[in-house]
């Protein structure tokens, strides 16, 4: 069967999906996807997966995709971050049987993406991206899609989108923010860029950004002309966003915990993070339970804290505090599912001497490096804990040891490694060459020799046992066989004849 493309792929395989749950690292796992689908989501993405790790680690594949196969969880798109065409293709080939399309992440703006050189930090390397998308489009049995961020210039954004379309991208998700719009500087997504891209390409386009309510979804579709709208933050705070409802938080929390129990295993940190998002506004008030939610170590413990939050909210409702005066200017009472809007950074005034300018400088300025003596007042809480465990630990950057890099992967090598490699590369080399590396505790050669000696000992014992068994059989035969009756000799016969009477 020929691979579906463009609008045909969107209409038939994705069933004309308009309401889309975004790929979110450690947040769009199976249980959350199923919850979102129950409340209006028509298409979901997996969390962003690292292509290189996906290729080399079978446990990573099993934990992040293979164990999450569920008939209810379709249509589904698997997203990868990658910067190598061959590695991306290998990962996609391993995943294509478990999803309906493969998505290339070109929109992640976080520091980890910068260090790993993927996500939005590839958006200027058009030749590489074209090769990655083209190769995947030619070799995969499912369509290839892309998720991008915009440039400052509309024209460059349009050319970027057209390049990906020519390479073989069958569906494009456009996040209407630039690479620098993140964290405190997130700001508002630019729908004008998305509208320009939609008019310039002939493949389906999804919009991402500024989605907090169902009304935002409808308005975005009208203003941009896109085929669907993707939500991340809005969905995390209100899984019923695409239903147009704002239910009580405990209703969504209890249903989510029930789905988690029905589809194990689910990493506890994922569940905790979702409950923090759902109860975000309530936890600003009941901060003692915030500490409890952070400390419990079991699923039952998380459910217990969520139940206590529910009881406290219901007590407030019983006392008549049903939202007449909402905290912090929220549109609904804090126990109602609603989006969290990041406060915009304060702009400095012209003379630069205002208090707001000083506050903004204080908030945005990075924490200064610790003093060389590393006193407790200047250390972070995490480093203070390390200092309490090891009083002699030194945090001075100048005095940190300089590690020599591994010759193959660039990670720090073992100081006494036989091959001058890191542990991972050393293990592969030692296994391949049947060699030892005492520094890393690898004894492949020793184990092989021991095994050879053991095999020789067992073979010698087997031969001895065989000889013993043969001798035993021969002895048994000789003892059990009847003795032959001797015939009289010729001389005796003659004597007996002579003695006979005549």
- Catalytic residue numbers, as ranges: 108
Query: CB of 52 within 8 A of CB of 92?
Result: no
The DSSP-derived string for 103-167 is EEEE---SHHHHHHT-GGGGTT-HHHHHHHHHHHHHH-SS-EEEEEE--SSHHHHHHHHHHHHHH
Which residues are paired to 51 by β-bridges?
none
Which residues are paired to 76 by β-bridges?
44
Structure tokens given for 154: 């509309």
Q: How far apart are CA 197 and CA 6, in angstroms?
A: 15
Which alpha helices (DSSP H) does 392-443 contain, by range?
A: 423-433
Give the 3-state secondary structure of 71-110: CCCCCEEEEEECCCHHHHHHHHHHHHHHCCEEEEEECCCC
Cα dihedral angle (384, 389, 393, 397), rounded to 10 degrees? -40
Query: CB of 138 within 8 A of CB of 130?
Result: no
Among residues 224, 183, 235, the alpha carbon closest in space to that of 200 is found at 224
Q: How far apart are CA 471 and CA 479, in angstroms?
A: 12
Structure tokens given for 20: 């889309």
Residue 52: C-alpha distances to residues 61, 84, 140, 437, 466 (Å) = 11, 9, 17, 26, 54
Residue 411: C-alpha distances to residues 117, 178, 414, 418, 424 (Å) = 16, 31, 10, 16, 9
φ and ψ of 347, to 5 deg: -85, 135
Residue 124 CB neighbours (<10 A):
12
φ and ψ of 137, to 5 deg: -65, -35
Query: CB of 334 within 8 A of CB of 284?
Result: yes
Query: CB of 154 within 8 A of CB of 196?
Result: yes
Q: Is 452 helix (H, G, I), strand (E, B) or coil?
A: helix
Q: How far apart are CA 6 and CA 165, in angstroms?
A: 10
């Amino acid at each position: 069967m020929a691979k579906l493309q463009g609008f045909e792929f969107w209409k038939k395989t994705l069933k004309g999906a308009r309401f889309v749950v975004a790929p979110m690292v450690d947040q769009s796992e199976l249980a959350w996807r199923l919850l979102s689908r129950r409340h209006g989501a028509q298409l979901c993405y997996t969390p962003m997966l690292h292509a290189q790790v996906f290729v080399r680690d079978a446990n990573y594949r099993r934990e992040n995709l293979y164990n999450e196969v569920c008939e209810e969880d379709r249509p589904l798109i698997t997203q990868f971050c990658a910067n190598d065409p061959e590695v991306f293709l290998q990962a996609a080939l391993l995943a294509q049987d478990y999803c309906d399309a493969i998505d290339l992440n070109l929109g992640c703006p976080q520091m980890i993406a910068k260090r790993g050189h993927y996500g939005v930090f590839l958006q200027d390397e058009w030749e590489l991206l074209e090769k990655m998308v083209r190769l995947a489009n030619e070799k995969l049995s499912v369509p290839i899609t892309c998720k991008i961020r915009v440039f400052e210039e509309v024209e460059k954004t349009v050319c970027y989108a057209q390049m990906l379309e020519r390479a073989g991208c069958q569906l494009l998700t456009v996040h209407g923010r630039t690479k620098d719009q993140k964290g405190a500087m997130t700001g508002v997504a630019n729908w004008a860029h998305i509208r320009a891209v939609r008019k310039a390409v002939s493949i389906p386009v999804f919009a991402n950004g500024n989605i907090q309510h169902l009304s935002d979804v409808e308005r975005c579709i009208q203003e941009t002309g896109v085929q669907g709208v993707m939500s991340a933050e809005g969905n995390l705070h209100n899984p019923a966003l695409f239903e147009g409802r704002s239910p009580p938080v405990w209703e969504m929390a209890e249903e989510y915990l029930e789905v988690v129990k029905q589809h194990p295993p689910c990493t506890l940190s994922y569940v905790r993070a979702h409950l923090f998002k759902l109860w975000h506004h309530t936890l600003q008030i009941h901060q003692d339970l915030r500490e409890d939610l952070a400390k419990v170590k079991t699923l039952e413990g998380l459910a217990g804290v969520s139940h206590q939050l529910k009881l406290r909210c219901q007590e407030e409702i019983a006392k008549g505090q049903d939202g007449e005066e909402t905290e912090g200017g929220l549109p609904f009472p804090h126990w109602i599912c609603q989006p969290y809007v990041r406060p915009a950074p304060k702009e400095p005034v012209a003379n630069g001497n205002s208090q707001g300018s000083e506050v903004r400088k204080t908030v945005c300025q990075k924490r200064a490096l610790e003093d060389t003596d590393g006193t407790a007042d200047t250390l972070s809480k995490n480093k203070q804990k390390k200092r309490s465990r090891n009083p002699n630990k030194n945090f001075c950057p100048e005095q940190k040891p300089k590690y020599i890099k591994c010759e193959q992967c660039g990670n720090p090598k073992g100081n006494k490694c036989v091959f001058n490699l890191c542990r991972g590369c050393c293990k592969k080399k030692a296994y391949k060459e049947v060699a030892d590396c005492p520094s890393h505790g690898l004894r492949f050669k020793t184990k092989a020799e021991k095994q050879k000696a053991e095999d020789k000992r067992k073979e010698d014992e087997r031969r001895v046992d065989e000889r013993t068994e043969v001798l035993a059989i021969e002895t048994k035969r000789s003892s059990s066989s009847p003795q032959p009756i001797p015939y009289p000799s010729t001389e005796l016969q003659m004597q007996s004849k002579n003695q006979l009477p005549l």
